[in-house]
């Protein structure tokens, strides 16, 4: 199945052009995408699937569906 | 002891200049900068006085760490009664001006009264003069700063000045120092203009006293290293604050089209990646980053506008590099106006610095005007022939310039969103608290931010609290009152040290305690610092209560309280102020009417204000 990825800030370094479409297995979860993109586990990260914020503890259990939209950004605190 | 223990007081009405000892008892209760300035303000003026009257005071306050070797020690505060809000205003700036004021031998500069003619204040250590400023009146910040340096044949002079916006009473005019750093919020530049004071120029060679150089060196080295290693610091250095635009857009907290939407399709054209991208003709928006005095973060951006862009095509004076997009300018000229033209946004930023205006208040006021225009309430014949439609980049650049020069419809925009929307009979369209416009965070998605906006003593502000972590992990209003209150107190303390709040990416209260104790004495414990922060928050509140504000002013616009977020992680939610505010008042030790109770006043040694 295919999911679309949009990345911002420091996370865009792992997604050329800042956005892409990935082919993943039907049992793929958020962790699968993070690993595919090569984002280090210690990198501060915020993941939003469609309109849902996914806590880090649920990356490995949140299954993805066809055409899901993943936003991968920094949990930056500045203004 | 890093204090000079010296205050410079200038009566502009009488044209008198004198020095007086710093009230060290107050310094021991209010630390410095924001806190100490607030104490001098409430003791020195009637809070009910008109903000634009000679009775208002304008205080430039350094902190005990301003001008020291501590990282980010260039900060100073401008404290006054704000003309946008009629509340206390504390506007903080970086650059080099604050450190230079300290180097000249002064901890605080207090200005009162009103000069009969335009003047500027020249400070060269002990030599302080009020000089005629007719030749600068009516000119820009950039012209004023450059010409003062030329006139005195000293490029090392540091200047804080206002543009025409401040002279003409634009309610959100700011004071710009070092060409593109500013005491930006709450209209402090309008207060300066109301006093016929065009600029303050300072050259200091006295320095800052340090009691124990070895101890200072040790604490500076330790805190520098913490900051160097901090992930948050690294993000700020590399991407600047505008990295937030991708985060807020993904989260659904990015105010768009005057807060009618919470995400924006055009962020890819104005985010840090777009700033760094090389365009087809080889042009690049981002030149480099820039740091304030003694700063080891360097979050500032220096940018360049494409010479072929419509805004500057035949205007070579804008073909140089200058201050670039930060998150709040990107938000206030971008999503909230529906505009994704990076050169137009950058140009508007130049104009804010050149004419001396707060970009947040200008942008959000223009957003309200655009909504009024699209509703047919503001007519084309009022707007100098410029359609104020969302997405119109020309409307941004033209109106920014008109407002800066106080011309045409710019005079209406100069009122700020509250007064403008009142004028057109649609007060609910002003996205503001206490008359001051929101920053780039929607409080339906970030509930703690909403509570912070509602309770901020200077009107809506994103810099007086820090509930990001809690807001991003939970979208309800539950549990937000305590971190909001605690962070407000902590930030009040940090603002009063003379250091930048961005250091909180790496430093906690223990690090600030080490630096303050080194500067002011070991009796400055962590507990004393936290209590001081709380005292500062309460003295600001007391000023506002005496000025006539009340709990009724601790609120949010109906759009945020009643209209659910249309998308994002908080889709369907409204700001839950009714949940958060009573808990907040209780935690603060305030009555249900938002007034500090007797026990709170006693605990904070504020009983004289009962």
With a cut of 80, say whether residue A77 has pLDDT above it. Answer: no
The pLDDT assigned to B392 comes to 98
Residue B129: φ, ψ to 5°? -140, 150
∠ CA B293-B294-B298, nearest 5°, is 80
Tell me what the mean pLDDT of segment B62-90 comes to: 98
The pLDDT assigned to B63 comes to 98
State the CB neighbour count (10 A cutoff) for residue B447.
Answer: 29
Confidence (pTM):
0.98
Tell me what the mean pLDDT of segment B27-32 comes to: 98
The pLDDT assigned to A16 comes to 86
pLDDT digit string (tens) for B435-487? 999 999 999 999 999 999 999 999 999 999 999 999 998 999 999 999 999 99
Query: Largest alpha-carbon pair distance within chain A?
Result: 39
Q: How many interchain CB pairs under 8 A, A with B?
A: 90
Rounded Cα gap, residues B279 and B274, in angstroms:
9
With a cut of 80, say whether residue A76 has pLDDT above it. Answer: no
Selected for mutation to probe chain A from B72, B232, B246, B441 (highest A CB count within 10 Å) is B246
- Residues of chain B in contact with residue A70, where contact means CB-CB under 8 angstroms, are none
With pLDDT > 90 as the criterion, what percentage of chain B qualifies?
98
pLDDT band with cut points at 50, 70 and 90 for residue B66: very high
- Residue (of A4, A23, A75, A13) closest to B446 by Cα position: A75
Residue pair B151/B193 in contact by the 8 Å Cβ criterion: no
- Nearest C-alpha in A relative to B502: A78
- B 240-259 near A (Cβ less than 8 A): 241, 243-247, 249-252
Instruction: Return the structure tokens found at B350.
Output: 């130049």
- A 2-41 near B (Cβ less than 8 A): 6-10, 12, 18-19
Residue pair B540/B90 in contact by the 8 Å Cβ criterion: yes
With a cut of 70, say whether residue A79 has pLDDT above it. Answer: no
Q: Which of the two residues, A16 and B436, has the higher pLDDT score?
A: B436
Is this complex scored with an ipTM above 0.90? yes
Is B58 at the interface with chain A, CB within 8 A? no
Residue B323: φ, ψ to 5°? -55, 130
pLDDT digit string (tens) for B171-194? 999 999 999 999 999 999 999 999
The pLDDT assigned to A78 comes to 66
Is B274 at the interface with chain A, CB within 8 A? no
């Amino acid at each position: 199945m295919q999911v679309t990825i949009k990345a911002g800030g420091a996370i865009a370094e792992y997604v050329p052009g800042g956005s892409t479409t990935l082919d993943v297995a039907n049992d793929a979860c958020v962790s699968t995408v993070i690993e595919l993109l090569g984002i280090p586990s210690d990198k501060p990260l915020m993941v939003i699937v469609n309109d849902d914020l996914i806590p880090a503890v649920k990356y490995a259990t949140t299954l993805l569906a066809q055409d899901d939209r993943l936003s991968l950004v920094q949990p930056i605190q500045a203004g | 002891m890093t204090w000079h223990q010296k205050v410079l007081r200038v009566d502009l009405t009488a044209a008198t200049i004198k020095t007086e000892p710093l009230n060290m008892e107050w310094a021991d209760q209010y630390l410095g900068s924001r806190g100490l300035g607030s104490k001098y303000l409430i003791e020195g003026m009637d809070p009910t006085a008109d903000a634009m009257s000679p009775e208002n005071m304008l205080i430039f306050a350094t902190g005990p760490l301003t001008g020291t070797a501590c990282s980010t020690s260039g900060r100073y505060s401008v404290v006054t009664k704000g003309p946008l809000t009629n509340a206390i205003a504390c506007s903080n700036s970086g650059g080099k001006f604050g450190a230079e004021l300290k180097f000249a031998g002064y901890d605080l500069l207090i200005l009162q009264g009103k000069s009969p003619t335009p003047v500027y204040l020249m400070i060269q250590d002990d030599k302080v003069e009020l000089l005629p400023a007719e030749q600068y009146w009516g000119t820009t910040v950039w012209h004023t700063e450059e010409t003062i340096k030329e006139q005195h044949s000293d490029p090392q002079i540091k200047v804080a000045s206002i543009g025409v916006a401040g002279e003409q009473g634009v309610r959100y005019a700011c004071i710009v120092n070092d060409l593109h750093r500013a005491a930006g919020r709450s209209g402090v530049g309008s207060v300066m203009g109301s006093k016929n004071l065009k600029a303050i120029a300072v050259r200091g060679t006295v320095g800052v006293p340090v009691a124990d150089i070895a101890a200072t060196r040790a604490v500076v080295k330790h805190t520098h290293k913490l900051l160097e290693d901090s992930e948050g610091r690294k993000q700020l250095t590399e991407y600047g604050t505008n990295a937030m635009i991708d985060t807020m857009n993904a989260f659904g907290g990015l105010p768009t089209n005057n807060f009618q939407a919470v995400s924006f399709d055009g962020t890819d054209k104005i985010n840090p990646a777009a700033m760094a991208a090389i365009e087809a003709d080889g042009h690049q928006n981002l030149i480099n980053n820039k740091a304030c005095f003694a700063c080891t973060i360097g979050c500032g951006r220096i940018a360049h506008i494409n010479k072929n862009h419509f805004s500057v095509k035949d205007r070579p004076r804008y073909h140089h590099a200058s201050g670039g997009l930060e998150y709040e300018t990107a938000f206030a000229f971008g999503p909230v106006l529906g505009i994704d033209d990076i050169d137009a946004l950058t140009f508007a930023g130049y104009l804010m610095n050149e004419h001396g205006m707060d970009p947040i208040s200008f942008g959000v006021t223009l957003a309200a005007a655009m909504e009024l225009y699209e509703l047919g309430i503001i007519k084309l014949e009022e707007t100098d022939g410029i359609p104020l439609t969302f997405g119109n980049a020309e409307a941004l650049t033209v109106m920014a310039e008109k407002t800066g020069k106080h011309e045409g419809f710019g005079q209406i925009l100069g009122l700020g969103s509250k007064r403008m929307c009142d004028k057109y009979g649609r007060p609910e369209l002003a996205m503001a608290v206490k008359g001051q416009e929101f920053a780039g965070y929607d409080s339906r998605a970030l509930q703690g931010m909403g509570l912070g906006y509602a309770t901020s003593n200077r009107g809506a502000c994103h810099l007086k609290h820090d509930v990001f972590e809690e807001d991003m992990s939970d979208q309800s209003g539950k549990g937000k009152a305590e971190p909001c209150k605690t962070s407000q107190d902590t930030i009040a303390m940090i603002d009063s040290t003379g250091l930048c709040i961005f250091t909180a990416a790496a430093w906690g209260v223990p690090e600030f305690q080490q630096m303050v104790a080194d500067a002011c004495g070991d009796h400055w414990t962590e507990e004393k610092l936290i209590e001081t922060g709380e005292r500062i928050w309460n003295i600001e509140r007391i000023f506002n209560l005496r000025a006539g504000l009340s709990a009724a002013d601790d609120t949010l616009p109906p759009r945020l309280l009643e209209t659910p977020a249309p998308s994002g992680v908080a889709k369907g939610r409204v700001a839950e102020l009714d949940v958060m505010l009573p808990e907040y008042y209780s935690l603060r030790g305030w009555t249900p009417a938002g007034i500090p109770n007797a026990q709170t006043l006693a605990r904070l040694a504020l009983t004289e204000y009962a």
